[in-house]
C-alpha cells in the first residue's frame, strides 16, 4: 500500500492558500456604491410614487411602477456582474438586511399613502428621502454581510 502522506499535506497547504486568497479578496472588496445608491433611488421612486395616487375606495396602483421592477433587476444584474456575488448564497445576515429593506419600503409606502389621503402630499418627499437613505444603507450592509459570508464559508477538508 502506498503512502499518500505527501499528497495529503500538499492538498492541505493548497486549501490554506485558497482560504488566505479568499480572505484577501474579501478584505479588498469595495462595495459598488453607485449601484447600491441606485437601489436606494428605485426605492425612493416607488415610495414617492404614492404622491401620484388617489388612496381610497377607487385606489389603483400606478402602472409605471413596473418600470421600477425592471430597473431593479437591471441594477441587481450589474451588481452581480461587477462583484461576482451570487444572490442565492448571500447568507443569513445579508438576507435579513434585504428583507428589512423590502419591509421598510412597504412601511414607508403605506405611510406615504396615509399622508396623501390626509392631503399632506408634500410630506411624501420626506418618506421618499428616508427610503433612499435607508435602502442605500441596508444595501451596503447586505453587501458587506454577503462578502463576510463568502469569507467564512468552509472549504472542503483534505
pLDDT digits (tens, 9 = 90+) for 124-142: 999 999 999 999 999 999 9
Flag whether pLDDT at 7 surpasses 70. Answer: no
Flag whether pLDDT at 153 surpasses 50. Answer: yes
Flag whether pLDDT at 154 surpasses 80. Answer: no
- Non-local (6+) Cβ contacts of 22 within 8 A are 150, 151, 155
Q: How many CB atoms lie within 10 A of CB 112?
A: 28
- Non-local (6+) Cβ contacts of 101 within 8 A are 39, 43, 134, 135, 138, 139, 142
pLDDT digits (tens, 9 = 90+) for 76-87: 999 888 887 777
Residue with cell 409605471: 64
Region 92-111: what's the mean pLDDT?
93
pLDDT digits (tens, 9 = 90+) for 49-99: 988 887 777 777 777 888 999 999 999 999 888 887 777 777 888 889 999
Q: Write down the pLDDT at residue 40.
A: 96
**How high is the mean pLDDT of the chain?**
83
Q: Which three three-digit cell numbers place residue 54?
A: 388617489
How many helices and strands (H and E) does the chain possess? 5, 0
Region 107-118: what's the mean pLDDT?
93
Amino acid at each position: 500500500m502506498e503512502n499518500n502522506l505527501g499528497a495529503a499535506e500538499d492538498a492541505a497547504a493548497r486549501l490554506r492558500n485558497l482560504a488566505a486568497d479568499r480572505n484577501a479578496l474579501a478584505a479588498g472588496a469595495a462595495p459598488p456604491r453607485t449601484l447600491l445608491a441606485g437601489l436606494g433611488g428605485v426605492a425612493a421612486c416607488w415610495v414617492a410614487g404614492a404622491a401620484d395616487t388617489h388612496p381610497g375606495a377607487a385606489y389603483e396602483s400606478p402602472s409605471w411602477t413596473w418600470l421600477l421592477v425592471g430597473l431593479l433587476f437591471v441594477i441587481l444584474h450589474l451588481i452581480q456582474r461587477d462583484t461576482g456575488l451570487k444572490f442565492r448564497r448571500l447568507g443569513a445576515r445579508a438576507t435579513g438586511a434585504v428583507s428589512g429593506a423590502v419591509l421598510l419600503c412597504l412601511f414607508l409606502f403605506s405611510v406615504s399613502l396615509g399622508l396623501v389621503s390626509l392631503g399632506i402630499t408634500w410630506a411624501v418627499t420626506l418618506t421618499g428621502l428616508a427610503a433612499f437613505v435607508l435602502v442605500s444603507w441596508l444595501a451596503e450592509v447586505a453587501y458587506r454581510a454577503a462578502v463576510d459570508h463568502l469569507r467564512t464559508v468552509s472549504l472542503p477538508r483534505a
